[in-house]
Every structure is written in C-alpha cells, then in structure tokens.
C-alpha cells in the first residue's frame, strides 16, 4: 500500500509541478483499477497543490482531481461525497482560472446515485450566488446546464422546494446565452421546469422573456459543423417551452401576432406552427381575448401568400384553434367562444365562395375546410352556413351554363366532403340535411359536357357514398346508371379514369347494384369498340367475391375469344386484370400465383373453368408468339400485382423467360410489357444472393446489346434497363446509381438519346400499371428528391460537356425530372437550374417546352432572386411561346406571363408595354381556351401601374 501511495504521489507531483498532462491519465488509471480508497489518497496527495498560494497550481490540482472523479464517481460513498461536495462548493469562490475544473468535478459528483440529502439545494445555491454564468466560456456554461439537468433527474423534490428561487437562479444563468449547443440544454431545463410542475411564482414573465427572445429561431449551421445541430432541433425545443404552459398565453399570443408581420417566410411558418401547438395546451379562456387579432393575421397570410408552407401552416393553426375552442365546457352564462370565432371566419370567407371566378375562392374554401374539419360541432356550424349558399350558387349558374364556374363551385363542395370523412364515427352526418340537393347536383353535373365538371362530380359521388345514409337505394341505382353510361360513352381519358375509380369505391359498398345494373350492360358491350374500358371497369368493381363471381366468367369469355383469333389485344389485358383482382380478393393468393405460373410457363389450363383451350398453349414460348398474339406475356405481369408476402413458384425460370422476351421480341407492346413485369418482380424480390445473381445476369446482357451499335435489339435493351432502373430506384437498391449512370451516358447516344430523355419521365413519374403502391411495390418515400440530389450535378455537367446537337436530350431529361419534383424542392434548386430551364424554353422540342413551362408556372408564383435577375431572358422566351403551334404550349406560356404580373411593380413595369403588345396576338387565337387565358393575363398587365390598379 505504501508503494502504491508513493507511486500515486509521484504521478500527482509530476502532473502539478511538471505540467505533464499525460500523467493525469496514469493517475486516473491507477485510481480506477484499484480500490476507491485511492481516490481519497489522490485527494490527500493533491493537498499541497490544492492549498497552494498560486492559482495556477491550485487549478492543476483541482483539474487532476476532477479527471479522476469523472472515472470513479459511481463508487463513492455518501460520506465521501459530503467531503468532496463541501470542497468543490467552497472552490466556486476561488480564482477564475480554477472555476472550469471545479465545474467539471461538480458535474461528475451530481451524477452520483447516493447524493446526500440537501446537497442539490446546496450546490445550486453556491452556483447561483458565486458564479456569473454568462461570463464563463462555452464549455463551462454547458457544465452548469448539465448539472441542473442531472439534479432535476435525481433530486426533483428538493429543487421544487426552492420555489421561485430556483426559477430566478436559472433565469439569471441563461440570460444572454448564444451558443446553439447550450441553448438546447437550456431549453431542456426550461421544458423540465414547465412540464414537471415547478412553481414559477412571480417569475412567469421573466422566464418567458428569457426564452422568447430567441423566437423565432434564425439559425443556419455552418457547413462543417461537427455538432450537427439543426435549426429544426432548436425550433422544436423552444416551441415545447413556449407552448408548455397556459401561463405564457398572455405574452406569447401577442408575440405571435407581431412576428406574423415579418417578411421572413421561416418566421411566419414558425409563428403559425407555434400557434397550432398552443391549441394543445391552452383553453378558450386564454385564447378568447386574442382571437380577432390571431384570425386577422392568419387570414392575411392565407389570402395573400404565394408560399405553400405558409398557407399550410396557417390552415393548421385554424384547425388547432377551432379544436381547442370546441373542447371548451360552457356554463349557462358564458359566451360560446367557438361560435364567436367561426362567425369571424364565415364573415370573411363565405362571400368569396359566391364569386368562383375570383382568386380568393380557394383560400376561403381551404380556411373554411380547416375550421370545419377540426370538430364535429364546427362542421355543423360551417356546413349549415356554407353548403346551402354553394348549392344555391350552383343552381343559379346552371341556368347560364357556365361550366368553368360550375366546376369551381363543385370542387369547393368536394373539399367539404373530404372533411366530413373525419367524422365517420358520428351517428349523424352533417350532410344529411342536404342529401337530396347534393345528389341532384351530382347527377346534374354528370350529364354536363365539361370533362372537368364530370371528373369533379365523380369525386363528390365517391365522398357521398362513403358517408353512411347519404345515398338512398334509388340514388345508388341512379349513380350506377350514370357511371355505366359514362364508361360506355365517354372518350375523355381523365373522365374514364375518374369514373372507373368511383365505380370501384362504390361497388365495394353497394355490390348488389353493380351486379344487377352495371355488369349486365358491360357484358353486352365487352366485345365491342369500348371493350378496353369495359374490362378496366370490371376489374375495378371486382373487389368483393360476390362481384368477382359475376365478372370472372365475362372476362374468361373475352380470353376465350382470343384463342379464336379475335380481339387478341384487349383480351390479354382482361386476363391480367382478372388475375390481379383475384389475387387481391382471395386469401388463396399463393395458390392462384402457382396456377398462373403453370399457365404461362407450361400451358396448364386445367384450373380454368369451362376451358376450351389447347392442352399445351405455351404462352411465353417465342415460337408461339406471332406478332399480334405476343400480348400473352402481358398476362404474366399479374404477378407484379401480388403482395410481397406471396411466394411465386419458379420465379427464376419466369424471370429468365421475361428477360429473353424483353430483349428479343420485336413487338413494342410485348417487349415493353415483359420489361415492366420483370421490373415488378425484381422490385419485390428480397435482397440477397438470388437477386444479385439476377441483376448481374441481366445487366451483362443489357450492356452487351447497348455496346453493339449495330444490334437490332438496342431499343429493347434500353427499355429493360429503364424499367429495372425504376424498380431499383424505388426501393433504394445500391445498384440503382450504376443503372441511372448508364441512362445519363446514353443521353449522348445518336440513336437512343431522345428515347432516353423521355425515359426520365418514366423514371420520375407514377406508373399506373406496375411499380406503384397499389400493386404492392416497394416504394420508399422521397425517392424523387433523393434521385435529384444525387444526379442533378451529373446532368448539368453532362449538358455543359455535350455537343450542341446532343444538348436537347439533356434539356428534355431535365424538364422531365424537375417537373416531377415537389414544389419546395423546385424553389430551392431553381437558382442552379435556371440557365438550363431557359435554354429548354428555346428548345425546338415542343414536349420539352411544355414540360418546362409546367415546372416554371408554380415557381413564378413565389419567384426566388434567381428568376428576378433573369427577367429579360424569361420574358423574351415566354412571349415567343404565346404563338406556338401547340395549343397547350400557348396556354402554359400565357399562364406564366400572367404569374409574372404578380412580381413587385418596380421590377415588371418596364416590360408592360412589350407584354401588352405581344398579348394582343393570342387575343385573336382560333382556340377559345387560349383567348380566355390571353384576356385574363392582358387584363392584369393592363392594370399594372395604372391609377386604382395593382
């Protein structure tokens, strides 16, 4: 023991007097590996340095002791802690060079589980009385906050006994803190104070002031920040403090109103989101006084902003306020604050719904929807005031046949139906009182010639059907008759899709009406010119076994007709759809998958009822696939509809067959379908050696075909590459980067470049038949954003290095990628992409022009500085496109020119005369829709700068 003490004393002396920091580590090791007695011996060994008259020497001694304690604190006894705590508390009065080491030691001691009673109070009183925390360095301030956090975890009752003294001490300690790391700790302490019931006493306002001075958070971490503290972390931590107690309401709510006047978008969003969080904590008593001011600020932001983030935050705030007010318990003599607030909302929004051609109809409708959707009582109040006015307006405008206006009104009604779905648990729907009027409006709209009106009407009908008791049996039968008529007569693609979707939704709820009315009519027409729509509709309504029982024989009849040489093309699609429907509908999905594989690979038709097929039809064999009969392979893609849990037998053999067909078949529809099916199966295949082997084999084959410029199968190989790339991109497979790099390289290919550019639309957009969530595909969130982040630089570099004749392919690819990104990403990335987008507007390819315009139009509503610096180039290109030979390009360019009129007047006024002159030409356009857009845009530009105008 004497030898050990001698060694320890030597290490201490070397550290203190010799300034050898490495000796501290040896001392710590020597103390921690042996008995805790060595810690006390270390303390004793340091006594000469601890009592030295030199602050530096005392500091070295305390530093060494604190480092030992950080390793050994858990083994200290209560008696030992009392001695050490008394020493450290006394040292807080010592020279400032010693304080950092004292705080490190105290931090270690406060983490002990056997702190003596009363020690927490003693420690805090010493810190609050002897230290001015904000004069310390960052690390020391962090120690103080961590000491507070540790004591609040282990000695909460003692700290609460300090009462308001604890709050006052904390306020003094944190006042003026600026370091983001320490702010997170300070916010945690404040959050504990509020949520754990510490008495704030008379220091409520002081605590609020010391916290709210950071609101709203404006913090951008440096690019190389090693701590990785984000603005969102700070925002959420501070918000939890400010909204944690209703005692802050009288200070916070006026502050929110004030901050909503800020010109900074992030400040507006933070303020509105904080207000929404208040709704979870506050009651109507705290909100009542400030409701007019809050509503005025929210209304302004939703009505005037061009930012989706601000609008969304404003709507959420309205919902939160209404939800809070709806929870209020009323007494006989109290005012119904919910009714008061909704009166404000209705007064400012309701009259705009009767002016559906003006721009405030949609913000008003969204605000009313947000209010009504917050509670059942609110939905009753709002619906009783709004829906009768909407119905009256609809009926009045029906008499003048104003279809665009009708569409707007009906879409507004649809928005209200969506909110009512939130209250399906209630016995009485808020729409029961309007049942007959609503049904009349919907059925009337379904007979209109406007495609937009018909699409919206199907959406309303779907919403009606999902509300219990809103469709009587006679209404259901009328609805089925209308849907059947539209399926058989309507050629517009959007209408057809909407009708099919509505039919599928209603058939699940009312199968008998569809069995008795729709299926017989489709059976009559399924072999006629509208057979594709009939087959699609049958598949959509076949979601229940009772419906499948009636639809399956009809679809099998179509399949049978294919083997007599008639109707081959569409009959194959029917078989795909019926199998996909059966595999969603029955529990025996695995058995059906096995039967389907046997059918496609081996020609086994024994499981088909009443079959009249050859015993060996060999659907996927090349010698059997003559030109127009190669659509058989489409049938096999039904397997890409199955759930990932369904095991497909002989999948490797199936993949080989599909790969071979997709690479060798000369028929476009066939090899594309095979590629889609292959991709659908690959997307769902579990990761592992089996999938790796498949991908290695197919990529080797694709590479061989693509590298051979004289190969007749290069297009087929590219198509397979495209769909496999999409399959892997959706699931974040590591190989997806290598595949998309191949696609970028092919943009400069003379033969395939244009097809590859169009392929990026396939890569970035939703697929309707395979590789979507309805088909149980593995689709990760934000895959588009990830793809763009990883590849935008490659695209720009490729464009800059490409030959002039190849640049159009890069522009086309860019327009497809950007147009499929969320708007917020477009706004963020636009400055870097703007030069390429302006080039794309000058591209001769009209598809590129249209895609670029559709991307630019929403961005122009809230243009970043990059666009404002390029106005001359932007106006030149847009005005030239207003006379494009393509009507959609003319309309899109006019919409962009219209959007530019909303820029600050001083920026666009110099272009006014030029724009008015250019817009005079499309006023005489042969297409009515173009003339309307030109008239609206020119009207806005004409008012620009005029007295009483904009």
pLDDT in tens, 189-238: 999 999 998 989 899 999 999 999 999 998 877 766 677 788 889 999 99
d(CA 275, CA 293): 12
Residue 399, classified by CB atoms within 10 Å of its CB into exposed (0-12), middle (13-18) or buried (19+), is exposed
For residue 533, the number of C-alpha atoms closer than 13 Å in the C-beta half-sphere is 27
Lowest mean pLDDT, pick from 202-206, 334-338, 943-947: 943-947
The total of other beta-carbon atoms located within 10 Å of residue 860's CB is 21
The total of other beta-carbon atoms located within 10 Å of residue 801's CB is 11
CA dihedral 15, 17, 19, 24 (to 10 degrees): 10
**So what's the pLDDT on residue 573?**
40
Q: Which residue has the higher pLDDT, 568 or 82?
A: 82
**So what's the pLDDT on residue 266?**
86
Q: What is the DSSP letter of 247?
A: G
Find out whether 600 and 619 touch, Cβ atoms under 8 Å. yes
* pLDDT classification of 386: cutoffs 50, 70, 90: confident
Could you tell me which of 501, 490, 495 has the C-alpha nearest to residue 463? 501
d(CA 293, CA 314): 14
**So what's the pLDDT on residue 899?**
86
**So what's the pLDDT on residue 424?**
47
**What does each C-alpha distance from 491 to 107, 401, 460, 496, 767 come to in angstroms?**
76, 22, 21, 7, 21
**So what's the pLDDT on residue 455?**
86
Read off the pLDDT of residues 667-719 as tens digits, 9 standing for 90 and up: 887 788 889 888 988 998 888 899 999 999 999 999 999 998 888 889 999 99
**So what's the pLDDT on residue 612?**
45
- Give 622's contacts (C-beta < 8 A, 6+ positions apart): 660, 661, 664, 665
Find out whether 408 and 414 touch, Cβ atoms under 8 Å. no
**What does each C-alpha distance from 174 to 128, 130, 785, 902 come to in angstroms?**
11, 15, 40, 45
Average pLDDT of every residue of the chain: 80
Q: What is the DSSP letter of 752?
A: T
Residue 724, classified by CB atoms within 10 Å of its CB into exposed (0-12), middle (13-18) or buried (19+), is buried
* pLDDT classification of 565: cutoffs 50, 70, 90: very low
* pLDDT classification of 610: cutoffs 50, 70, 90: very low
Find out whether 890 and 854 touch, Cβ atoms under 8 Å. no
Q: Which residue has the higher pLDDT, 137 or 609?
A: 137
Report how far Cα 209 is from the mean position of its chain's Cα atoms: 34
* pLDDT classification of 27: cutoffs 50, 70, 90: low
- Taking residues 800-823, what's their average pLDDT? 82
* pLDDT classification of 6: cutoffs 50, 70, 90: low
- Taking residues 394-403, what's their average pLDDT? 64
Q: Which residue has the higher pLDDT, 513 or 226?
A: 513
Tell me how far apart the 2 most distant CA atoms of the chain are, in Å.
110
d(CA 547, CA 134): 74
**So what's the pLDDT on residue 63?**
84
Could you tell me which of 459, 548, 536, 448 has the C-alpha nearest to residue 500? 536
d(CA 639, CA 596): 8
- Taking residues 809-820, what's their average pLDDT? 84
pLDDT at 611 over 60: no
Q: Which residue has the higher pLDDT, 24 or 437?
A: 437
Find out whether 522 and 574 touch, Cβ atoms under 8 Å. no
Bond into 216 cis (ω within 30) = yes
Instruction: Report helix, strand or coil for 236.
Output: helix
Could you tell me which of 809, 815, 889, 795 has the C-alpha nearest to residue 859? 815
**So what's the pLDDT on residue 68?**
81
**What 3 state SS string does 135-196 have?**
HCCHHHHHHHHHHHHHHHHHCHHHHHHCCHHHHHHHHHHHCCCCCHHHHHHHHHHHHHHHHC
Could you tell me which of 405, 356, 365, 367 has the C-alpha nearest to residue 387? 365
Could you tell me which of 547, 496, 545 has the C-alpha nearest to residue 519? 547
pLDDT at 614 over 80: no
* pLDDT classification of 580: cutoffs 50, 70, 90: very low
* pLDDT classification of 8: cutoffs 50, 70, 90: low
Rounded CA Rg of the chain: 36
Q: What is the DSSP letter of 248?
A: G
* pLDDT classification of 300: cutoffs 50, 70, 90: very high
pLDDT at 3 over 50: no
Find out whether 582 and 592 touch, Cβ atoms under 8 Å. yes
What is the share, in percent, of the chain residues with pLDDT greater than 70?
79
**What does each C-alpha distance from 564 to 81, 473, 559 come to in angstroms?**
95, 41, 9
pLDDT at 351 over 50: yes
pLDDT at 874 over 50: yes
């Amino acid at each position: 023991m004497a030898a050990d003490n001698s060694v320890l004393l030597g290490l201490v002396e070397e550290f203190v007097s010799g300034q050898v920091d490495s000796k501290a580590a040896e001392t710590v090791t020597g103390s921690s590996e042996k008995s805790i007695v060595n810690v006390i011996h270390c303390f004793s060994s340091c006594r000469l340095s601890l009592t030295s008259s030199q602050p530096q020497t005392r500091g070295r001694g305390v530093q060494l002791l604190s480092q030992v304690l950080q390793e050994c604190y858990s083994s200290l006894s209560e008696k030992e802690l009392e001695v050490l705590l008394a020493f450290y508390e006394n040292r807080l009065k010592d020279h400032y060079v010693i304080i950092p080491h004292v705080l490190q030691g105290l931090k270690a001691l406060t983490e002990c589980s056997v702190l003596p009673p009363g020690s927490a109070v003693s420690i805090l009183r010493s810190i609050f009385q002897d230290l001015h925390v904000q004069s310390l360095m960052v690390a020391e301030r962090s120690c103080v906050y961590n000491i507070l956090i540790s004591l609040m975890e282990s000695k909460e009752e003692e700290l609460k006994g300090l009462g308001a003294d604890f709050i006052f001490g904390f306020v003094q300690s944190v006042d003026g803190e600026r370091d983001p790391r320490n702010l997170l700790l300070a916010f945690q302490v404040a959050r504990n104070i509020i949520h754990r019931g510490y008495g704030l006493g008379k220091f409520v306002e002081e605590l609020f002031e010391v916290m709210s001075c950071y609101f709203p958070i404006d913090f951008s971490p440096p690019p190389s920040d090693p701590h990785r503290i984000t603005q969102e972390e700070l925002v959420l931590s501070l918000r939890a403090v400010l909204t944690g107690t209703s005692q802050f309401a009288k200070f916070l709510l006026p502050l929110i109103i004030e901050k909503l006047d800020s010109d900074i978008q992030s400040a507006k969003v933070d303020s509105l989101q904080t207000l929404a969080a208040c709704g979870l904590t506050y009651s109507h008593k705290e909100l009542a006084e400030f409701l007019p001011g809050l509503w005025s600020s929210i209304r302004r932001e939703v009505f005037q902003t061009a930012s989706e983030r601000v609008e969304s935050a404003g709507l959420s705030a309205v919902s939160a306020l209404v939800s809070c007010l709806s929870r209020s318990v009323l007494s006989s003599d109290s005012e119904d604050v919910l009714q008061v607030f909704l009166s404000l909302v209705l007064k400012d929004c309701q009259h705009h719904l009767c002016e559906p051609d003006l721009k405030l109809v949609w913000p008003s409708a969204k605000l009313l929807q947000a209010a009504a959707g917050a509670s059942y009582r609110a939905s009753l109040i709002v619906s009783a005031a709004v829906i009768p006015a909407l119905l009256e307006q609809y009926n009045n405008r029906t008499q003048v046949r104003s279809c665009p206006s009708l569409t707007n009104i009906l879409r507004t009604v649809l928005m209200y139906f969506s909110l009512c779905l939130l209250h399906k648990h209630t016995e009485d729907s808020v729409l029961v009182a309007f049942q007959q009027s609503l049904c009349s409006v919907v059925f009337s709209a379904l007979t209109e010639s406007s495609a937009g009106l018909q699409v919206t009407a199907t959406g309303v009908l779907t919403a009606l059907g999902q509300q219990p008791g809103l469709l009587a049996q006679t209404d259901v039968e009328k609805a089925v008759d209308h849907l059947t008529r539209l399926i058989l007569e309507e050629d517009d693609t959007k209408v057809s899709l909407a009708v099919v979707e509505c039919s599928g939704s209603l058939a699940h709820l009312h199968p008998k009406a569809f069995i008795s009315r729709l299926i017989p009519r489709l059976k009559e027409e399924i072999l006629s010119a509208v057979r594709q729509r009939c087959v699609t509709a049958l598949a959509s309504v076949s979601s229940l076994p009772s419906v499948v029982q009636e639809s399956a024989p009809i679809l099998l009849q179509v399949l049978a007709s294919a083997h007599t040489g008639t109707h081959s093309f569409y009959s194959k699609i029917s078989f795909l759809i019926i199998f996909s429907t059966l595999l969603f509908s029955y529990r025996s999905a695995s058995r059906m998958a096995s039967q389907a594989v046997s059918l496609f690979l081996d020609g086994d038709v024994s499981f088909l009822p009443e079959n009249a097929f050859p015993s060996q039809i060999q659907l996927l064999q090349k010698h059997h696939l003559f030109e127009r009969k190669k659509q058989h392979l489409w049938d096999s893609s039904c397997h890409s509809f199955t759930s990932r849990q369904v095991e497909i037998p002989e999948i490797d053999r199936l993949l080989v067959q599909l790969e071979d067909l997709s690479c060798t078949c000369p028929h476009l529809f066939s090899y594309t379908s095979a590629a889609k099916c292959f991709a659908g199966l690959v997307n769902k295949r579990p990761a592992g050696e089996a999938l790796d082997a498949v991908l290695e084999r197919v990529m080797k084959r694709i590479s061989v075909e693509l590298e051979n410029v004289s190969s007749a199968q290069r297009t087929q190989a590219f198509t397979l590459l495209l769909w496999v790339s999409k399959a892997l991109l959706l699931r974040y497979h590591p190989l997806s980067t290598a595949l998309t790099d191949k696609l970028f390289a092919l943009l400069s290919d003379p033969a395939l470049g244009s097809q590859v550019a169009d392929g990026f639309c396939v890569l970035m957009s939703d697929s309707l038949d395979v590789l979507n969530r309805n088909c149980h595909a593995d689709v990760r969130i934000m895959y588009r954003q990830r793809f763009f982040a990883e590849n935008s630089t490659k695209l720009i570099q490729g464009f800059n290095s490409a030959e002039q004749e190849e640049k159009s392919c890069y522009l086309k690819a860019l327009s497809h990628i950007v147009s499929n990104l969320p708007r917020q990403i477009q706004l963020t990335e636009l400055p870097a992409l703007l030069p390429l987008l302006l080039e794309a507007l000058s591209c001769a390819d009209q598809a590129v022009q249209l895609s670029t315009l559709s991307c630019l139009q929403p961005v122009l509503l809230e243009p970043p500085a990059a666009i404002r610096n390029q106005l001359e180039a932007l106006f030149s290109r847009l005005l030239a496109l207003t006379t494009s030979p393509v009507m959609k390009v003319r309309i899109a360019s006019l919409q962009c020119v219209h959007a530019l009129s909303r820029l600050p007047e001083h920026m666009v006024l110099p272009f006014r005369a030029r724009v008015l002159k250019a817009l005079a030409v499309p006023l005489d356009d042969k297409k009515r829709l173009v003339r309307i857009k030109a008239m609206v845009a020119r009207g806005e530009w004409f008012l620009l700068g005029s007295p009483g105008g904009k």
